Amino acid sequence: MQAMKKKWILILFLVFISCEKKAFNTTYDIRVSIEVLIQRDDVLQLFYNDSFFNDYNESYSQSKKIAGSPSFQKITFNLANHPKRIRIDLGNDSLQSSIRIKNITFFSKNKSITFESDKIARVFEFNEGIDFNPLTQEAKLKSVNGYYDPFLISKNLIRIINVLDK
């Protein structure tokens, strides 16, 4: 009887280790880069979610302080898992009347997929705090009902992530 218990404990231990190892191996390094021209100092924030139904929260976000510049800057966020969707907040400074978005790129391993300004709407939807003109790359930022929170939110990222993983 004692030998049988030891066998079961050993089997459970091996199953636990193999599951733990598999979960570790499915963690991927995804990078999201947005090339923007931002005139005033501000903060960009990327929220990520591995579900289609959960809300975004600060626990699953990264912020980057941006120094205002007359030149385009590439802002990169590193994620430790495969997001199903992301949200990019385009700043907190309500005096920032507009920015320009040149492209958004997704990276994984040695592959990348870039969406130039005229293709961004294929992957992202802009909230009512942004009027985006893909031809000029200009995103006019505005308050809505006294609330300043311009952001773009991705559509389903599964296809993009799958292409990057091949």
Return the CATH number at 39.
2.60.60.40
The verdict on residue 98 lying in a domain is yes
Question: By residue range, what is the domain housing residue 124?
Answer: 30-165
Q: Tens of pLDDT along 17-66?
A: 444 433 333 444 789 999 999 999 999 999 998 777 677 888 889 999 99
Neighbours of 59 (CB within 10 A): 6
How many residues are recorded in the chain? Answer: 166
The answer to whether residue 102 sits within a structural domain is: yes
Number of domains in the chain: 1
In this prediction, residues 89-110 reach a mean pLDDT of: 93
Q: Which residues pair with 43 in a beta bridge?
A: 65
Q: What is the pLDDT of residues 135-154, one digit of tens each?
A: 999 999 999 999 999 999 99
Domain presence at residue 5? no
Instruction: With respect to residue 62, please indicate whether it lies within any of the assigned structural domains.
Output: yes
pLDDT value at 91 more than 50: yes
pLDDT value at residue 108: 86
